[in-house]
């Protein structure tokens, strides 16, 4: 017999959120983690030179202040954040740039003739940012808490996710600013799912900002792990779970794994219909990630770009769409879209005095073995001449190596499943509680479940609350606030 009430497999943000929620409910919880430290995609480590601390996957956290789990957990009281005035920027040729400030009107002032159009697009969402977060942070098969926010959001996603996406704009800066965020999804452009994700993230950027955790993303997961242990939970690192039969007895098991690995771990116990549904689950495009140690800040031609925590490098809307659509067809663009984070400009603890870390990734087809470092350097040099000369260390990983480091990224898919619209409705099955499996007391809690990718802890929190209702027979949601 075991004294355990619940076991969680995987100590990424979602697994830790599940463990924290169950431990706060008074249950005996044990978390098993394959790696030698907690965090999954939210780890921070030296990857280039001593003293340069790089985020392994996530770096900037638009959902840190909007996720309901993090709000209830009191994340802002546990972790120090730097919040740049400029959430993200889009450099353009000729020394121009579009910059998304937290101040929506300030953003509009730099968008020329399209400034008013951009404000009309975004203001209804920014004013209802919490409603947008609620709508996008739950399964789509539910009545939204703020129906007005959901309607505004849906109408704008329909516009920006279709051939109408240029209808309200006259110039190139505002469309490029929106497309740089939508391209996070690694989907074809335009598309409804990419537009929805881009609008949600842009909303948070104007409403609360895109915060950078001081000390790196590891600070977030360390705070969660500390709370879990403080409430009696146990974390076993360096322990890979190959089968449910290997686990000690427990009333509930929550798995922070992708459907492919759930089927392997659960084995023959999975009913045929559910197995077929999970086998139809599709993984998406991938990333190649390149981290740089620099001897100084990136010399962006446009000074305002230096004030942004995140930079979307890729040029105009048309250029980024062409690049991303080529990746969707299995190609590798010569001038790729590059997502850039420059955390050391706001958190000097990340590099030695005078040095900087630069976090980048670019999109590639699933399973690509291409080294994209040179293509990324060339694209940054386009908007920051002299960047190459500042590089003192570099770590480049292709998509296969990204998956090898984290099995929840099949083929290098950091979203743990294509975030296309149909698969956001069916993540991983069509259900008001998609975290429940047909196995008694067994739940899925990874980013492959609703509400999908991102460091928000919501998939784990939802799964744990589902387990509390259906396995432990209580509808009381535990208090998660710091004590």
Q: pLDDT tens for residues 120-142?
A: 999 999 999 999 999 999 887 77
pLDDT at 1: 43
Mean pLDDT of 291-303: 98
The answer, as to whether pTM is greater than 0.75, is yes
Token reading at 222:
């360390």
* Strand 252-255 with 442-444, pairing: parallel
Q: How confident is the model at residue 108 (pLDDT cuts 50, 70, 90)?
A: very high
Token reading at 163:
């051939």
Kindly list the distances between the CA atom of residue 331 and the CA atoms of 125, 183, 285, 288, 334, in Å, as whole numbers in the listed order.
Answer: 35, 16, 11, 13, 10
Name the H helices within 5-126: 13-24, 68-73, 75-78, 104-109, 115-126
Reported as a single tens digit per residue, the pLDDT across 427-457 is 999 999 999 999 999 999 999 999 999 999 9
- CA atoms of 405 and 161, how far apart (whole Å): 33
Nearest to residue 460, comparing CAs of 247, 232, 244, 254? 254
- Evaluate whether 52 touches 266 at the Cβ level (below 8 Å): no
**pLDDT over 70, % of the chain:** 99
- CA atoms of 79 and 81, how far apart (whole Å): 6
Question: Strand, coil or helix: what is 100?
Answer: strand
Reported as a single tens digit per residue, the pLDDT across 13-22 is 999 999 999 9
Reported as a single tens digit per residue, the pLDDT across 154-192 is 999 999 999 999 999 999 999 999 999 999 999 999 999
Residue reference for tokens 């250029």: 319
Q: Residues 117-153, buried b or exposed e (16+ Cβ, 10 A)?
A: bbbebbbbbbbbbbbbbbbbbbbbeeebebeebbebb
Question: Strand, coil or helix: what is 41?
Answer: helix
Which stretch of DSSP H or E encloses residue 340? strand 338-341
Nearest to residue 448, comparing CAs of 433, 435, 462? 435
Mean pLDDT of 346-367: 98
pLDDT at 16: 98
Mean pLDDT of 114-118: 98
pLDDT at 2: 63
Which stretch of DSSP H or E encloses residue 440? none
Averaged confidence pLDDT in the chain: 97
Q: Which residues pair with 290 in a beta bridge?
A: 360, 396
Mean pLDDT of 46-68: 97
- CA atoms of 31 and 261, how far apart (whole Å): 17
* Strand 308-313 with 338-341, pairing: antiparallel
Mean pLDDT of 195-223: 98
- CA atoms of 30 and 19, how far apart (whole Å): 8
Nearest to residue 234, comparing CAs of 22, 83, 465, 35? 22
Asked whether residue 381 carries a pLDDT value surpassing 60, the answer given is yes
- CA atoms of 312 and 86, how far apart (whole Å): 13
- CA atoms of 420 and 281, how far apart (whole Å): 11
Residue reference for tokens 């739950």: 138
Token reading at 134:
């609620």
- CA atoms of 66 and 289, how far apart (whole Å): 26
């Amino acid at each position: 017999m075991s004294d355990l009430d619940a076991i969680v497999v995987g100590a990424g943000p979602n697994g830790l959120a599940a463990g924290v929620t169950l431990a706060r409910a008074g249950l005996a919880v044990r978390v098993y983690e394959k790696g030698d430290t907690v965090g999954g995609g939210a780890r921070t480590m030296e990857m280039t030179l001593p003293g340069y601390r790089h985020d392994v996957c996530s770096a900037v956290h638009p959902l840190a202040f909007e996720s309901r789990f993090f709000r209830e957990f009191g994340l802002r009281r546990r972790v120090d954040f730097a919040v740049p005035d400029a959430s993200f920027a889009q450099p353009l040729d000729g020394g121009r740039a579009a910059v998304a400030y937290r101040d929506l009107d300030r953003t509009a002032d730099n968008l020329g003739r399209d400034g008013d159009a951009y404000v009309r697009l975004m203001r209804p969402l920014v004013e209802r940012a919490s409603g947008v977060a609620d709508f996008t942070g739950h399964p789509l098969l539910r009545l939204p808490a703020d129906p007005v926010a959901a309607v505004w959001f849906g109408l704008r996603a329909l516009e920006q996710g279709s051939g109408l996406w240029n209808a309200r704009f006259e110039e190139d800066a505002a469309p490029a600013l929106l497309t740089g965020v939508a391209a996070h999804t690694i989907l074809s452009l335009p598309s409804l799912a990419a537009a929805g994700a881009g609008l949600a993230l842009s909303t948070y950027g104007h409403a609360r900002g895109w915060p950078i955790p001081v000390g790196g993303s590891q600070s977030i997961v360390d705070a969660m792990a500390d709370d879990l242990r403080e409430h009696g939970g146990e974390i076993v690192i360096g322990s890979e779970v190959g089968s449910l039969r290997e686990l000690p007895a427990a009333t509930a098991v929550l798995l922070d794994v992708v459907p492919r690995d759930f089927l392997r771990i659960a084995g023959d116990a999975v009913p045929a219909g559910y197995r077929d549904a999970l086998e139809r689950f599709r993984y998406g495009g991938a990333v190649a990630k390149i981290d740089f140690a620099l001897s100084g800040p990136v010399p962006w031609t446009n000074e305002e770009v230096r004030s942004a925590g995140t930079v979307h490098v890729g040029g105009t809307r048309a250029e980024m769409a062409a690049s991303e659509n080529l990746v969707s067809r299995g190609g590798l663009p010569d001038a790729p879209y590059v997502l850039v984070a420059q955390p050391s400009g706001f958190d000097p603890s990340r590099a030695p005095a005078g040095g900087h870390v630069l976090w980048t990734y670019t999109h590639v087809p699933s399973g690509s073995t291409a080294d994209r470092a040179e293509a990324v350097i060339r694209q940054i040099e386009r908007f920051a001449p002299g960047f190459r000369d500042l590089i003192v260390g570099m770590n480049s990983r292709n998509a296969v190596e990204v998956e090898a480091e984290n099995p929840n990224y099949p083929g290098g898919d950091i979203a743990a499943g294509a975030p296309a619209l149909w698969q956001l409705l069916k993540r991983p099955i069509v259900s008001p509680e998609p975290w429940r499996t047909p196995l008694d007391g067994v739940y899925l809690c990874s980013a492959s479940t609703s509400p999908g990718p991102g460091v928000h802890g919501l998939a784990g929190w939802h799964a744990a609350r589902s387990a509390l209702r259906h396995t432990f027979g209580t509808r009381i949601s535990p208090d998660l606030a710091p004590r």
